A and B are shown apart, each in its own frame.
Chain A
Amino acid sequence: MNKQGQKRGPWREVWRRLKQNKAAMVGLAIILILVFSAIFADFIAPYGYDDQDLKARLQGPSMQHFLGTDNFGRDILSRIIYGSRVSLQVGFIAVGIAIAVGGTLGAISGYYGKRLDNVIMRLMDVLLAIPGILLAISIVAALGSGLQNVMIAVGIGSIPGYARIVRSSVLTIREQEFIEAARAVGASDFRIITKHIIPNALAPIIVQSTLGVAGAILSAAGLSFIGLGFQPPTPEWGAMLSTGRNFIRDHWHMTAFPGLAIMITIFGLNLLGDGLRDALDPRLKN
């Protein structure tokens, strides 16, 4: 129990626990650096993402080009920095779409139950039955490639995951007495869902979405790698890998560095996600 009179909201408590977790803080630092470089790419990147220098093609790491250049003589470091923009956008927006659609469906499903629940969840089952990447491939194939379509494709694929998570937490929270208490004072369904259920269901959603961003970035990279996602000259990590593949024998740096960028990003997000899960877990609450 805390000292009395001290103001300590539940979220502050989570932050306090998260701070103690070193791995999570490393993850958070990685994500912050990425977000920072995405926002300020124009200032940080030594070259433009499509500045070609045909005299300096396929150079290994050097003082001019820290991570070397590609087959058009473009600076790989700059492309990776600009690429973080694309990847983070795809990651966050795709997850955003999934949470908005999946979360709403899950909340409705869990709160109202019965037939509506059955219909929604069976639809989700259908979506779940199709392998995620296959679904994304077919959607992109149908809609055409490009940033927007990739985000939609990846987003749709992860809707069922959020719908299920939100539904199951709504189901447990709905049975809590404070929901009944709210009903007893005359609160409407809308107020109960937004004020009482959602704030209490946030914890698992936050964890899932942190891990989900990682998944979305990977899926987008995967799509680009097989040529369905972003088209050159967009500096997308997956697309860079794909191009680099042709030169992998003699110019390892073209694949190694974009690959590392993807790896470190995913690693950071996963560390943060795991840390958040521990920090939000009520069983550890003292």
Chain B
Amino acid sequence: MQKKLIEVKNLKKYFPTNKGMLHAVDGVNFYINEGETLGLVGESGCGKSTTGRVVLRLLEATAGEIIYDGKDILKVDKRRMRELRRDMQIVFQDPYASLNPRMSVSQIIAEPLTVNKVFKNKNELDARVKELMDTVGLTQRLVNTYPHELDGGRRQRIGIARALALKPRFIVQDEPVSALDVSIQAQILNLMSDLQKEFSLTYLFISHDLSVVKHVSNRIAVMYLGKIVELSEYGTMFKNPIHPYTQALLSAIPVPRLHSTNEKIILEGDVPSPINPPEGCRFYGRCMYRQDICNQKTPELKDIGEKRYVACHFAENLKPAKK
């Protein structure tokens, strides 16, 4: 039953800058099973959004493979890619910037259908747009309104309807709720999980908000400076994070409860520059367990059992003792 829908192997995306090569995504490996949600978390600049875009070929990868449904999509030509796009969609973070302000709600939702010439006649198209609006919970009344007249939650629903229009199987969710208020955020998260069940969708859910990622994901990958440092099932990761960065990240979340039990690990300093990073662990400068080896050898993402993968030389030592 657990079929891999998409697998990413040693994916790299570098951007040339004036100061040198910016290693936005630097050798990332993961897979997502059909119908599953993989959460991708990390702080700003860690390369999570770039990863999402490279996976959809909205940005061209520098190196690596992206196997979707058995084929390496980095090797297919433009025309075939356009067909594949119908299968793979994206929901953007900013519902303000991701909708063309000069187009009405119905035009925006219809665009994927028009571009791909799905329907021959206008009535079928209108019917499908109405159906999509129903699916995402937008009232028909709004069909001729423009994005600037609507609030963030409704705009994000438009973005979701647009992503669903071509009946995709795989959707990259790029921080879809970070621009929304909590009460609206919860509505959208529920909508997304309903849609996932209804249309058996596979999600790559990108976010900086760990509580949101934990809520939606089956497995979670934590990124730091272009690399995945830990990848585990959500339960095990939150119970006992292994990588020092994951530990710090989890402890830093303000918990809305009195006398929260977790001891905060306050990291020193800032994320270093991703331009021409030196050999060695990227987290070296801020790590509380660093040793000499850490700035000489880059740790690989290793399988440490229990479906957990950690990129740390001391993963075995940091692993909680088995009861």
Q: Which residues of A contact B (CB under 8 A)?
A: 1-2, 4-10, 176-178, 180-188, 191, 195-196, 199-200, 285
Contact = CB atoms under 8 A, between A and B. Distances in A.
Interface string B150-189: 0100000001001001100000000000000000000000
B99 interface: yes
B100 A184 contact: no
A33 B111 CA distance: 41
B92 A285 contact: no
Contacts of B93: 177
Nearest to A191: B115
A4 to B, nearest CB: 7
Interface stretch (B11-19, B82-90, B275-283, B298-306): B82-90
A196 B111 CA distance: 11
B240 interface: no
Given A4-B145, A182-B111, A186-B85, 5 more contacts: A9-B146, A184-B90, A186-B116, A199-B102, A200-B102
B297 interface: no
B58 A187 contact: no
B151 to A, nearest CB: 7
Contact of B145 (A7, A182, A199, A285): A7
B58 A180 contact: yes
A8 B146 CA distance: 7
Contacts of A2: 149
A5 B141 CA distance: 6
B166 A185 contact: yes
B142 A4 contact: yes
B149 A1 contact: yes
Interface in B43-76: 53, 56, 58
Given A1-B149, A5-B142, A5-B145, A185 B100 contact: no
A185 B116 contact: yes
A40 to B, nearest CB: 35
Contacts of A185: 85, 89, 111-112, 115-116, 162, 165-166
B99 to A, nearest CB: 6
A176 B274 CA distance: 24
Q: Chain B interface secondary structure, helix, strand, loop or mixed?
A: loop
How many interface residues does chain B have, given as a range?
Answer: 35 or more
Contacts of A187: 111, 115
A197 to B, nearest CB: 10
A56 to B, nearest CB: 57
A25 B93 CA distance: 40
Contact of A10 (B58, B101, B116): B101
Contacts of B149: 1-2, 4, 6, 8
Nearest to B59: A180
Contacts of A191: 115
B115 A200 contact: no
Given A2-B149, A183-B58, A184-B58, A177 B82 contact: no
Nearest to B85: A186
Contacts of A4: 141-142, 145, 149
Contacts of A177: 92-94, 97-98
B102 A7 contact: no
Contact of A9 (B100, B104, B141, B142): B104
A286 to B, nearest CB: 10
B246 to A, nearest CB: 29
A181 B146 contact: no
Contacts of B151: 1
Contacts of A181: 90, 92, 98-99, 159, 162
A195 B100 CA distance: 9
A4 B142 CA distance: 8
B86 A186 contact: yes
Interface in B99-142: 99-104, 111-112, 115-116, 141-142
10 contacts: A5-B145, A177-B98, A181-B98, A184-B89, A185-B116, A185-B162, A185-B165, A187-B111, A196-B100, A200-B101
Q: Which 9 A-B pairs have the closest CB atoms?
A: A185-B112, A177-B98, A199-B102, A177-B97, A186-B85, A186-B82, A178-B100, A5-B141, A187-B115
